[in-house]
Amino acid sequence: MMSEVAQDEEKWLGAGIAGLQQNAFYMHRALDSNNLRDALKYSAQMLSELRTSRLSPHKYYELYMRAFDELRKLEMFFKEETRRGCSIVDLYELVQHAGNILPRLYLLCTVGSVYIKSKEAPAKDVLKDLVEMCRGIQHPVRGLFLRSYLSQVSRDKLPDIGSEYEGDADTVVDAVEFVLQNFTEMNKLWVRMQHQGPAREKEKREKERSELRDLVGKNLHVLSQIEGVDLEMYKETVLPRVLEQVVNCKDELAQYYLMDCIIQVFPDEYHLQTLETLLGAYPQLQPSVDVKTVLSQLMERLSNYAASSAEALPEFLQVEAFAKLNNAIGKVIEAQVDMPVAGAVTLYSSLLTFTLHVHPDRLDYVDQVLGACVKKLSGKGKLEDSRATKQIVALLSAPLEKYNDIMTALKLSNYPRVMEYLDNGTNKVMAVVIIQSIMKNNTCVSTADKVEALFELIKGLIKDLDGTFDDELDEEDFKEEQNSVARLIQMLYSDDPEEMFKIICTVRKHILTGGPKRLPFTAPPLVFSALKLVRRLQGQDENVVGEEALATPKKIFQFLNQIIEALSTVPTPELALRLYLQCAEAANDSDLEPVAYEFFTQAYILYEEEISDSKAQVTAIHLIIGTLQRMHVFGVENRDTLTHKATGYSAKLLKKPDQCRAVYACSHLFWVDDQDSVKDGERVLLCLKRALRIANAAQQMTNATRGGSGSVTLFVEILNKYLYFFEKGNPQVNIAAIQGLIELITTEMQSDTSTQDPAADAFFASTLRYIQFQKQKGGVIGEKYEPIKV
């Protein structure tokens, strides 16, 4: 649906076009018959359509373009006329007889263009005359379009250097003077427009003014295209004159737009060489002008320029661009008291980008910018404005991206101070950005001091800030964050064991503040990092380690004990148990019996006191058995105590099948292949027999509850254990026992009541196949298996 106003406008435009076409038609006829008088009459009538006040700038432009095209034909006609002998001076006089001033001036400009081309008068005189005459139109829209017409038709006739219109009397100075004058007049018309008409239409007027802006700005484009405007002339004439207009017009829209135009239409070199003048204008602008955007655009342009060519860099240094920009920003922020924090941060962010591009080696500049930012932020508390925080993240990310190295950022004393002003959420985002940078670049953080600084920087992830805990926290986000911290811990490394130990201690200090939710994520990587260090120390000659050395395996194990203890109070006993066992194994490799024993004891205490879930118990007991089986450091006594306990735990599991499996697994605790001291065949057999009893009991229980016999799986599993020890030469495990077991299983399977269990059948069948296979092997093994009948 078109609004009524828009419909009306379409109607007016339609009527305007119709009137224009009608008069153009008669004008064409007059042109075809070389009737100058009629041609002037109808063209003037045609141009009268541009006298309308009813069209918005957009629609007016459409009408104007049609008139513009028609005037090109008239212009050609004028050219032909002069070729036919008509005096251009006479023509110039003649068109001034048109009744209305607007058509008269359009015609005058059109003839004027031919006049200049004829070179019968100096270009500058004609231009001066035209630009003065145009003062006759003070209606803003009409005046702006008329002057834009003048600008367009004179565009290629300016006495620029090297132009055919340059002469003794005409110089580029005249060309510049002409454009500047036209610009000044247009800007005045444009600025004045806001004061015309009723106050209630202010918004509409602002919109219309905004549409008209390019007509004014185009003059600056024309200036920039004049070849004779060299740096000298730009510096001495063009820029001061343009800025004078911009500052004095005291109009927000004009100031914002024209500053942007100046930056965009003139070349970078000019800006660099006139930085002081240009920047000097900023604090003089109206307080409502969005200076930060324009200033940021300037810095962005200069940054790109610096990045584009290495040859440009010395220029930047020569003019002390950084100092000037820094100074200007300070002044602008000072002058615009009401500038929102986001605005100020945007400015600093642009300046930082500029610095990183232009002076990548000047870390002090970077720190200076951050420091200025801190100053602006101080006393404001945490930022809550989302735009401002976004800008700060950009500000803080820039050095990371540039240097690809967090170590550089850590050297910036103001870096953490800026982070202080972020709200907790953004602080975390920034911390993740930092960790990602480390990951991406494989940055080596290799001293405890650096680690300290780094963890201080990312403390948003390490602990609850301000003691508040956000209940709304997204579980997945939290995991993601903590996993990234875990990865970071793995990245910290020093070749020097002493330093490495210090790093580990520093990390511990920080992660212990993280509370029960974070420790399960952060403690394991630290434990493994410390274990890695232990392994490194094992490779070293004992003597190398001095007496006062901190990093001895013993000390590290002590340290580990504390960490895991903290974890067990979280409580995550299962995780703690795994870590204790891991440590026990490491202590075993370090030949530290008491330490290994201590870890086992801790694991057992946890098992007894904290792990109550039956499934968790099963997992835990198998871990314990597995680890204990591999230990070789223990003397008989310690080993007995531990295996005894493990067997005891196994027999006390909740479910019979679990008991059975754990008990037969315990058999391995008494028979270790590569340890001659651990070959107790009798106790192996005891375990297996006990497992059989439990299997029996399990089956009976199934019989009682389900009315049918249970699966034979457990028996087959035990049979396999028998075969294992038989093969390993355990004298207690003999043919008769194996034979008996096979028969037992066969009978069970054939009984009517047995439950169908294809998996168990297959398992048994393949076990028998194995026996068969071993028999056929011949040799020692074959002989050994020979007596077994299947």
Partner 1 sequence: MSSRRRMLLKVIILGDSGVGKTSLMNQYVNRKFSNQYKATIGADFLTKEVQFEDRLFTLQIWDTAGQERFQSLGVAFYRGADCCVLAYDVNVMKSFDNLNNWREEFLIQAAPSDPENFPFVVLGNKIDVDGGNSRVVSEKKAKAWCASKGNIPYFETSAKEGFNVEAAFECIAKNALKNEPEEEIYLPDTIDVAGGGRQQRSSGCEC
Q: Which is nearer to partner 1, 260 or 593 (CB)?
A: 260
Q: Which is nearer to partner 1, 143 or 524 (CB)?
A: 143
Measured from the CB of residue 155, what is the shortest distance to partner 1 in angstroms? 7
In order, the DSSP letters of 161-183 are TTSTT--SS--HHHHHHHHHHHH
Instruction: Single out the residue of 127, 137, 73 nearest to residue 103, CA to CA.
Output: 137
Length of the chain: 790
3-state class (DSSP) for residue 86: coil
3-state class (DSSP) for residue 85: coil
H-run or E-run covering 364: helix 363-377
Rounded Cα–Cα distance for residues 243 and 259 (Å): 8
Tokens 């009798």 locate to 682
Q: Taking the mean position of all CA atoms in its chain, how far away is CA 377?
A: 23
Measured from the CB of residue 147, what is the shortest distance to partner 1 in angstroms? 13
Question: Rounded to the nearest 5 degrees, what angle is found at the Cα of 623, between the Cα atoms of 611 and 651?
Answer: 65
Measured from the CB of residue 564, what is the shortest distance to partner 1 in angstroms? 55
Q: Which is nearer to partner 1, 8 or 269 (CB)?
A: 269
Q: Identity (one letter) of the amino acid at 225?
A: Q
Q: Which is nearer to partner 1, 205 or 331 (CB)?
A: 205
Q: Which is nearer to partner 1, 163 or 699 (CB)?
A: 163
Half-sphere exposure of 775 (CA within 13 A, CB side): 12
Binding site for partner 1 (CB under 8 A): 15, 19, 21-26, 28-29, 31-32, 45, 48, 51-53, 57-58, 61-62, 64-66, 69, 72-73, 76-77, 100-102, 136-139, 142, 152, 155-156, 210-215, 217-218, 220-222, 224-225, 227, 260-261, 264-269
- The CA-to-CA distance between both ends of the chain, in Å, stands at 94
Burial of residue 266, with CB atoms counted within 10 A of its CB: 0-12 exposed, 13-18 middle, 19 or more buried: buried
Give me the torsion for CA of 477, 482, 483, 487, rounded to 10°. 140
Q: Which is nearer to partner 1, 14 or 516 (CB)?
A: 14
Rounded Cα–Cα distance for residues 511 and 496 (Å): 22
Measured from the CB of residue 460, what is the shortest distance to partner 1 in angstroms? 37
Q: Which is nearer to partner 1, 97 or 652 (CB)?
A: 97
Residue 626 structure tokens? 């597995």
Measured from the CB of residue 376, what is the shortest distance to partner 1 in angstroms? 29
Measured from the CB of residue 154, what is the shortest distance to partner 1 in angstroms? 12
Measured from the CB of residue 61, what is the shortest distance to partner 1 in angstroms? 5
In sequence order, what are the beta bridge partners of 492? Answer: 445
Q: Identity (one letter) of the amino acid at 418?
A: V
Rounded Cα–Cα distance for residues 164 and 111 (Å): 19
How many CB atoms neighbour CB 420 within 10 A? Answer: 11
Q: Which is nearer to partner 1, 107 or 620 (CB)?
A: 107
Q: Which is nearer to partner 1, 152 or 709 (CB)?
A: 152
Supply the Cα-derived Rg of the chain in whole angstroms.
Answer: 46
Measured from the CB of residue 94, what is the shortest distance to partner 1 in angstroms? 19
Measured from the CB of residue 99, what is the shortest distance to partner 1 in angstroms? 10
Helices (H) and strands (E) in the chain, counts: 39, 0
Q: Which is nearer to partner 1, 72 or 509 (CB)?
A: 72
Measured from the CB of residue 156, what is the shortest distance to partner 1 in angstroms? 6
Q: Which is nearer to partner 1, 147 or 518 (CB)?
A: 147
3-state class (DSSP) for residue 227: coil
Measured from the CB of residue 230, what is the shortest distance to partner 1 in angstroms? 11
Burial of residue 52, with CB atoms counted within 10 A of its CB: 0-12 exposed, 13-18 middle, 19 or more buried: middle
